[in-house]
Amino acid sequence: MKNILIVNDGSIGHHFIDRIIGIHTTDNIYYVVNAKSDHQYDSYNQTRFKFFHFDPTSYYKISSLLKTDFTQAIVAMEDQEEVLQTIKNIRLLKPNIRIIALDLWNSQSPDDEIEWINMRQVLALNLIDHLPNIPVLAQNIGLGNGEIMEVLVPFGSSFVYRHIGAIEQNNWKIAAMYRNRQLIIPTNQKMIQPNDVLVLIGEPNVLKSVYRAIKRELGQFPAPFGSKLYLYIDMAYETHETILELVRRSVYIQKKLQKPLLIKVLNAGDIDYLQQIKSYRQEGIDIDIVFERIFSEDMILNDIKKHHVGLFLVSGKMFGRADVRKMLYTGKVPVLKLANRSFSTLKQSLVILGDDNHVEHISTTVFDVASQFGFDLELIDYGAEDKEHSSQTIEHFNNLSTIFSKSIQVIKADENPILYLRSYNNFLQCLPFTKKMFGNPFRRLFATDPETLYAKLDDYHQLFIPTQL
């Protein structure tokens, strides 16, 4: 979590802050100083934005705020002398902080310590796009709507040490890759390294999701999928004993992940059991009870979007319904299917290598979950037909193991992995959430793919992780 200081005194700064509010991210906390007006902002997250109203040119007033540890400061003020005085105050208190400042007067020379955003240059670059037969820089190619993006891959990213061919690229593509200032033409066999720069092309909204996925680091789950846990209970479908077990296990998971939990109860009936469920309401745990006897896919999908759900918890019985599985697949949200086994005593998570390359898509989430819960991690290679792909996936997991300081055990299993795993007492199986789970049940009799045979391990806890961004 990074603290960002923003100092503004006019319409440009207000517009800038409105744009930040519209971008959903939980990675930064913004301390906003409105210098000349106590401007009101709509629909902002109070945990991410803190607003102040004072004169930043006053050393005494700004010194109190700068006791906070800030990553960077952005100065978007429209009076030149006040900009310089504000920067001077910040530098006196935070000599090493990164400062980005707006230059409306075309008067500031380049400064190694301050990054000046020259308004005239920004406008000129945008106007050039409208001139015919004039070649433009890469940042001006295209529609200018965000369909071309350059991203630095940080150490610890979910994309590090992944083969480009193992990254599902729907509605977007990796167009180029730069390493040590050298152009690398992307191929399926090329592996992404830390500090590589990727040039992406695609739908602007898709690229925003890709950017969040690339920048994501370990310890953030359920990010980048969402920020809240959601337990779904249908009292008309579950037994009373199962309902209370689901609640208890979900509360345990909430405490481990330290994320808000919403318990959604549909078709509420038994008052005594409702009172027991309500007794779990506390800070970080909310309960929403619906008494109508309904099952509405639209309502659940709207909840996923409205509450920014990052992990959907559900019983094995409910997940067994094809309509529920398809709904959750549409929602593009990780699903934790809770079995009739203890979750608090779990010590082990595992992944079975499949015939496709879907496992690389979920690798960072697998490490993230194992790390946060303190699980041992096993990678089971049961002798898939594509030996080359299997060895690449094992190499990828070993690389991530080094990055995240999380050891893994690779098990070579020649026998049927389903029979092998049934000898285990308890574990969490992590697997890709793919369309294979909606195929003809008759075909499962002849299948060998773990994604198709997921129901054979239905007695164990399973985490289904989306592969589409």
Half-sphere exposure of 55 (CA within 13 A, CB side): 8
What are the pLDDT digits (tens) for 320-334? 888 888 899 999 899
Task: Compute the average pLDDT of residues 213-239.
Answer: 82
Q: Comparing 59 with 171, which gets the higher pLDDT?
A: 59
348-466 CATH = 3.40.50.620
pTM tops 0.75, yes or no:
no
Quick one: pLDDT band at residue 134, thresholds 50, 70, 90?
very low
Quick one: pLDDT band at residue 137, thresholds 50, 70, 90?
very low
Q: List strand residue ranges (DSSP E) for 24-109, in order.
A: 28-34, 49-52, 72-76, 98-103
Rounded to 5 degrees, φ, ψ at 74 are -120, 125
- Taking residue 99's Cβ as centre, other Cβ atoms within 10 Å add up to 20
- Taking residue 422's Cβ as centre, other Cβ atoms within 10 Å add up to 12
Q: Comparing 339 with 154, which gets the higher pLDDT?
A: 339
What are the pLDDT digits (tens) for 59-89? 999 999 999 999 899 999 988 899 999 999 9
* Measured distance CA(243)–CA(328) in Å, rounded: 20
Task: Judge if 142-215 and 348-466 fold alike in CATH terms.
Answer: no
State the Cα angle at 14 between 37 and 19, rounded to 5°. Answer: 155
Q: What's the pLDDT score for residue 217?
A: 63
- Is the bond leading into 417 cis (omega within 30 degrees of zero)? no
Minimum mean pLDDT range among 94-103, 227-236, 386-395: 386-395
Quick one: pLDDT band at residue 216, thresholds 50, 70, 90?
low
- Is residue 173's pLDDT more than 60? yes
Q: Which amino acid is at 392?
A: Q
Quick one: pLDDT band at residue 210, thresholds 50, 70, 90?
confident
Q: Which amino acid is at 117?
A: I
* Measured distance CA(121)–CA(109) in Å, rounded: 13
2-128 CATH = 3.40.50.720
What are the pLDDT digits (tens) for 391-426? 878 887 887 776 666 788 888 877 677 777 887 889
Task: Compute the average pLDDT of residues 41-70.
Answer: 89
- Is residue 28's pLDDT more than 80? yes
Quick one: pLDDT band at residue 133, thresholds 50, 70, 90?
very low
Q: What's the pLDDT score for residue 32?
A: 92
Q: What's the pLDDT score for residue 110?
A: 60
Most confident residue range from 24-38, 126-140, 167-181, 393-407: 167-181
Q: Is 7 exposed, middle or buried (0-12, 13-18, 19+ CB in 10 A)?
A: buried
Q: What's the pLDDT score for residue 418?
A: 77
* Measured distance CA(439)–CA(458) in Å, rounded: 17
Domain assignments of the chain as residue spans, ordered by start: 2-128, 142-215, 228-338, 348-466
Pick the CATH number of 228-338 from 3.40.50.620, 3.30.2350.10, 3.30.420.40, 1.10.10.10: 3.40.50.620
Q: What's the pLDDT score for residue 218?
A: 62
Q: What's the pLDDT score for residue 135?
A: 33
- Is the bond leading into 222 cis (omega within 30 degrees of zero)? yes
Q: What's the pLDDT score for residue 247?
A: 93
Give the residue ranges of DSSP H helices in 107-172: 119-128
Q: Comparing 186 with 297, which gets the higher pLDDT?
A: 186
Q: What's the pLDDT score for residue 136?
A: 34
Give SS3 for 208: helix
Q: Which amino acid is at 171?
A: N
Strand partners, 232: 264
- Is residue 359's pLDDT more than 70? yes
Quick one: pLDDT band at residue 24, thresholds 50, 70, 90?
low
Most confident residue range from 6-20, 111-125, 438-452: 6-20
Q: What's the pLDDT score for residue 57?
A: 92
Query: Has domain 142-215 been given CATH number 3.40.50.12280?
Result: no
Quick one: pLDDT band at residue 383, thresholds 50, 70, 90?
low
Q: Comparing 356 with 259, which gets the higher pLDDT?
A: 259
Q: Comparing 25 with 212, which gets the higher pLDDT?
A: 212
- Is residue 252's pLDDT more than 90? yes
Q: Comparing 275 with 124, which gets the higher pLDDT?
A: 275
Distance linking the first and last C-alpha atoms of the chain: 23
Maximum CA extent, the chain: 77
Quick one: pLDDT band at residue 241, thresholds 50, 70, 90?
confident
Minimum mean pLDDT range among 31-40, 119-128, 307-316, 434-443: 434-443
What average pLDDT does the structure give for the chain?
83
